[in-house]
Each structure stands twice: as C-alpha cells, then as structure tokens.
C-alpha cells in the first residue's frame, strides 16, 4: 500500500502508519535479548517456593518420595497465589505441564525456557515482538499477559506495541489453566505467571537498550531445497487434507556501526508444527526442538536466535501419535518402538530434529537477500466473535479458563483479540491469535479435503490470505497476541457436544469415519466456530486496506485502529 493511497482515505488517520522520511539521522535499529523463564532452581527474580527436585511450586510433604506433589499430600497454600486468583484457594500451585493430559507435574529440567525479545525501530516507531517457550499467552488475562507487561515497562522506552508470541511448547508450564490436577481445576500457577510478565518486560527493556543500527537479510526454504525438512510434519491422527505449510522463513539483523559493525544481532526462524517431540509422558522441562534450533544458530552466527511458530493447526511433529514414517534425523536412526514411548521419544531424537531444522535455516540464510528498510508500518484490527464452545463456557464458570473475559449475566460470551500486519523492507509479518490450520492461510477454495464430499458443511470458503501478503518474504506469527485454540476452516468444522456425564466435550464423528477419518478433535479446543472466517477476513482487510466481498466475510466487523503515532 502506498502512502498516497492510504492518506486519500479517512482510515489513514485511524491506522498506525509510520512511514518515516528517509534522512541521514533516521535509521533502522534492532535490539534483541533473551531472559530465562524456566521455573526451576535459583533465580534472583523468584522468591516463591522451590521443591526438592528444583521445580518451583508450593512447598509440600513428599510422602511417597516420587519428587512431585500427589493428591492428598499436605502442602503450604501460598496466599500470594490466592490473592492473585481466587481459584488458587486450597489448590496445589506448581508447574503442571501444558498441552496433553491432566496432572503432569514437572519433575526436572533439561534446558531453559525463554522470553526472547526483538525490538524493531525506525523513525518514531518502536515495537517489541517477544517469543516465549509457553503453550500460549494472552494480550490481557486479568492479572497477567501483555497488558501487565506494558504496565511494567518504563514509558521512556517509547514502545508502542508489545506483541507476545508463544512457540506453543507442550513441555512447559500451564499458562491457560486446563491442565491442572483434573479438568475442573485450574493448572495455572499465578505467582509464576507474574514472574513471566516481569521477565518479559526485562527482555524487552534489555533489547530496547541494546538496539543498534542494523541491516536486514531475508530468506526462505522448503523440503525441496532443504531435504532435512522433508517428512517432519504430520496431521493429527491423519486428519485430512494432507496439507502443510512447508516453508521455513528466516530473518537476520546485522549491525552496521561502531563495535556492532558486521556482528549478528538476531536470527529469526519461523516454522510450522507443534513443538511437542518429547510427547505426553515427559515430565522434564524443555523448550523442545526450538531449543536446539536456537542453540545451533547462536553457535554459528552469534547474537540472539528467536524461534516463532507459524500456522501449526492440526500439524504435529513426525512420530507424534505414531504419525509419519521418517525415523532418521541428523544422520542418526531413531526407530519408533510400537507402544513404547519411553524407547521411541528421547532428548537425543528431539535434538537431532532441532539440528536438521537449523541446517535448513542455515541454507535459507546462505541464499538470503539484503533488504533495505525505510519505514515500519504497523496495522491492526480487533477481532471479536461469539464464543460458541460450550466446554469453554463451563470452564470459564469454574475459574479454570479465567484468562478469557467473563461475560456478565445475560451476555453472550465473546472471543476478543487482535490481528496485526507489520511491514518493513521486503518482509511482512502477519499475526494469528491461535493455531491456524494451514489451509485457511493458503485458501480452502483450493486446499481442502476431497475424500468425503458429504462431510462438507457448505459454509462459504474463507478468503485466501497468503496471496494478499504482497512482500516477497512473509512471516506468520502464530499464537500472537492470544491463544484462542484451533482455527478450523468452516467447511470442515463439526462442533463437539457437551458430555454432561463426563463433564467434558465429546468430539464430533466425521461422516467418513468408516473410512478411517478421525473424530473432530480440534473443534473441542477451538474458542469459536467463527474464528477462521473472522481471522481470514480481517487479515485480508489489513493487507488489502478493505474487506474482501467474499460471502464468508458477511457480518464480520472490520475496524482497523491505531494506538500511537509515529
């Protein structure tokens, strides 16, 4: 979008559009910093409990000596948790691992979890984008989240936007609430979440204070150009279509002046699958394969490596749930042992996968092109849709999903979040507030299942978004700035039913179940059946400067706004 076209319209004044005038004094500046958020061992910023295993949590008597709190074991109910969140009263607060079953308390640490911040600055525009090794985080979750982080930042830093992206790590603490001792007890550890906010603010501050004049190079690759990427992605239980976003994108920022001249400031990697190669039986804290990706790239280039997950909805890492056939990673064999996760899944395997990903990132950087930056454009629009997941509503009432805004009596609960499109040089970043099925990004008119015509709900196809991203290098920041669950295309969305007897949700059966198609699991973890069309229509609106006329966009509100001026 050109400046002239924008300013011809009224919307211009509503948008945060910062095309700074090129001059000798205005420079593109970049800062990066990494701060540990591992709930383990000594940390100067932590004054809460540390158990004998080293994992943080309320102090307890380990009667059976298994290194974790078990139901019935006495514990010290820390009032600091209850004062933040009433649902913590008489509940054991510790590090419940997120993403698989309930009651998976951490018992040790393999590698650190991080808040890794990137500051991008040009003229009067200064924004922070942070990646955290967590399952999800929120823009405003009552006592924690990006709104709290903003309050912790010194206004003198002049940061206009704070975007927190989650890698969707399934081997780290519960930040959502649904993985506590049982489905009806909150698994969040309020004191720890306050700590995370504090450390995110610290990472942003360090990155802002270290910002340097920089130049940027951009690259991308895929399994055809980087065979080490082949066969790493699978679909949950084989859910059709077998469609993936196979592209890996990279970005590198190199200093141009003084002691930073020629030195690497940050390397960004953006790839698309669930970081859960350690699977559901592991209880050792780790950031999973992104750890090795970052470590490999920092060893090679220096600076801070930051990993962002993209469109990973229904996409899992090979071996997960027995899906996929590839067993060789970084030159080593890791055969799957049937019905034995302990033998199939290991840190050695996870690290080998990470090295194969890093190899591809290096190949993408070898081919990367320098791109001049003469402005940072930030556009955003709110996304609000009815929350029609009945299970979520029940969990909100129980104080489990209390990060989401509670409706007042008589009000329809709502999903409220944001979509951002950020453009600088040849790079365009688009955010997604959840786990986007890749076919929604690329367009379901072309990329859809054809195995079962009767299963088609006939809801109109969401507009394709990828083709509307008009820069050469396109980055997708998944789970940013919120985690609202799976974003499932309308034509294949079958709502779950409330299972009163078991207090949960029953997955809808596919109409071609007899042919081996799995049940519709993802819809049970989706805040709204309208997320896909709302996201695709609003994202398209931001990219095109107007909403598409597609039938799928009917009734979706598009109201772009700006919060700060250049």
Cβ proximity to Zn ion, 113 vs 421, nearer residue: 113
Q: Dihedral, CA atoms, 275, 278, 284, 286, nearest 10 degrees?
A: -30
Q: Is the dihedral of CA 519, 522, 527, 528 positive or negative?
A: negative
Q: What angle do CA 2, 122, 542 make, to 5 degrees?
A: 40
Cβ closer to Zn ion: 435 or 439?
A: 435
Nearest approach, Cβ of 275 to Zn ion (angstroms)?
10
Please, is 455 exposed, middle or buried when counting C-beta atoms within 10 Å of its C-beta (0-12, 13-18, 19+)?
Answer: middle
Output 236 or 564, the one with its CB closest to Zn ion.
Answer: 236
Q: Is the dihedral of CA 95, 98, 100, 101 positive or negative?
A: positive
How many residues can be counted in the chain? 566
Q: How far is the CB of 310 from Zn ion (least distance, A)?
A: 13
Q: Give the shortest CB-274-to-Zn ion separation in angstroms.
A: 5
Residue among 128 and 505 whose Cβ is closer to Zn ion: 505
Q: How far is the CB of 98 from Zn ion (least distance, A)?
A: 10
Residue with Cβ nearer Zn ion (111 or 435): 435
Return the number of the residue (178 or 268) whose C-beta is nearest Zn ion. Answer: 178
For Zn ion, give the closer residue by CB, 350 or 524. Answer: 524
**Under a CB-based contact definition with an 8 Å cutoff, are residues 45 and 35 in contact?**
no
Contact predicate 242/235, CB 8 Å? yes
Query: Taking the complex as a whole, how short is the minimal distance between the CB of residue 378 and Zn ion, in angstroms?
Result: 27
Whole-number minimum distance, CB 34 to Zn ion, in Å? Answer: 24
Q: How many CB atoms lie within 10 A of CB 505?
A: 22
Residue 435 beta carbon to Zn ion: minimum distance, rounded to whole angstroms: 5
Cβ at position 99, least distance to Zn ion in Å:
7
Whole-angstrom distance, CA of residue 561 vs CA of residue 378 = 10
* C-alpha–C-alpha distance, residues 29 and 306, integer Å: 17
Least CB distance from residue 230 to Zn ion, whole Å? Answer: 23
Long-range contacts of the stretch 341-349 (C-beta < 8 A, 24+):
341/279, 341/280, 341/281, 342/281, 344/319, 345/277, 345/278, 345/279, 345/281, 345/282, 345/319, 347/110, 347/278, 347/286, 349/277, 349/319
Q: Can you tell me the distance from the alpha carbon of 465 to that of 550, in angstroms, rounded to the nearest whole number?
A: 12
Tell me which residue has its CB nearest to Zn ion: 435
241 cis-preceded (ω within 30 degrees of 0): yes
How far apart are the C-alpha atoms of 163 and 540, rounded to whole Å?
Answer: 20
- Name which of 347 and 521 has its Cβ closer to Zn ion: 521
Contact residues for Zn ion (CB under 5 A)?
Answer: 435
Tokens of 26: 């205005």
Using CA atoms, how far residue 558 sits from 75, 211, 269, 383, 405, in Å, is 50, 34, 30, 8, 21
CB of 485 to Zn ion, least distance (A): 8
Nearer to Zn ion, 310 or 562 (CB): 310
- Residue closer to Zn ion by CB (options 78, 279) is 279
């Amino acid at each position: 979008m050109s400046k002239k076209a924008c300013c011809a319209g009224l919307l211009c004044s509503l948008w945060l559009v910062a095309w700074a005038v090129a001059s000798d004094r205005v420079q593109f500046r970049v800062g990066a910093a990494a701060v540990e958020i591992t709930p383990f061992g000594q940390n100067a910023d932590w004054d809460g409990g540390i158990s004998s295993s080293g994992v943080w949590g309320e102090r307890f008597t380990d009667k059976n000596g298994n290194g974790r709190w078990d139901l019935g074991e006495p514990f010290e109910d820390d009032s600091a948790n209850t004062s933040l969140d009433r649902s913590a009263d008489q509940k054991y607060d510790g590090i419940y691992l997120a993403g698989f079953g309930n009651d998976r308390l951490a018992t040790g640490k393999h590698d650190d979890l991080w808040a890794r911040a990137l500051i991008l600055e040009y003229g009067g525009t200064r924004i922070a984008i942070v990646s955290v090794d967590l399952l999800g985080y929120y823009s405003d979750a009552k006592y924690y989240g990006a709104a709290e982080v903003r309050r912790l930042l010194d206004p003198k830093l002049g940061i206009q936007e704070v975007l927190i992206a989650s890698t969707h790590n399934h081997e780290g603490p519960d930040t959502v609430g649904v993985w506590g001792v049982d489905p009806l007890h909150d698994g969040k550890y309020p004191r720890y979440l306050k700590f995370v906010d504090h450390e995110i603010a610290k990472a942003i501050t360090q990155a802002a204070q270290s910002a340097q004049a920089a130049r940027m190079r951009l690259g991308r690759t895929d399994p055809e150009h980087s065979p080490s990427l082949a066969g790493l992605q699978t679909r949950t239980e084989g859910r059709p279509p077998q469609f993936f976003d196979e592209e890996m994108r990279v970005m590198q920022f190199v200093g141009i002046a003084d002691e930073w001249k020629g030195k690497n400031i940050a390397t960004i990697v953006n790839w698309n699958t669930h970081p859960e190669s350690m699977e559901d039986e592991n209880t050792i804290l780790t950031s999973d394969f992104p750890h090795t990706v970052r470590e490999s790239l920092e060893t090679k280039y220096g600076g801070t490596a930051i990993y962002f997950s993209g469109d990973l909805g229904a996409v899992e890492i090979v071996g997960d749930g027995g899906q996929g056939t590839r067993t060789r990673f970084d030159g080593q064999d890791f055969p799957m042992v049937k019905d034995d996760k302990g033998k199939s899944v290991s840190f050695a395997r996870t690290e080998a996968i990470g090295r194969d990903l890093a190899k591809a990132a290096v190949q993408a950087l070898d081919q990367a092109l320098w791109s001049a930056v003469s402005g940072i454009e930030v556009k955003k629009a709110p996304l609000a849709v009815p929350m029609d997941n009945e299970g979520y509503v029940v969990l909100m009432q129980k104080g489990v999903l209390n990060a989401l805004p509670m409706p007042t009596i008589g009000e329809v609960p709502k999903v409220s979040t944001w979509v951002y499109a950020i453009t600088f040089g040849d790079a365009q970043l688009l955010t997604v507030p959840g786990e986007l099925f890749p076919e929604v990004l690329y367009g379901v008119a072309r990329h859809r299942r054809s195995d079962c015509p009767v299963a088609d709900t006939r809801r109109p196809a969401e507009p394709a978004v990828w083709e509307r991203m008009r820069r050469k290098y396109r980055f997708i920041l998944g789970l940013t700035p919120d985690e609202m669950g799976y974003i499932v295309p309308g034509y294949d969305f079958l709502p779950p039913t409330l299972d009163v007897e078991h207090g949960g949700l029953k997955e809808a059966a596919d109409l071609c179940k007899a042919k081996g198609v799995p049940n519709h699991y993802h819809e049970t973890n989706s805040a709204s059946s309208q997320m896909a069309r709302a996201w695709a229509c609003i994202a398209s609106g931001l990219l095109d400067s107007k909403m598409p006329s597609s039938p799928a966009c009917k009734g979706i509100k598009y109201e772009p706004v700006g919060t700060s001026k250049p």
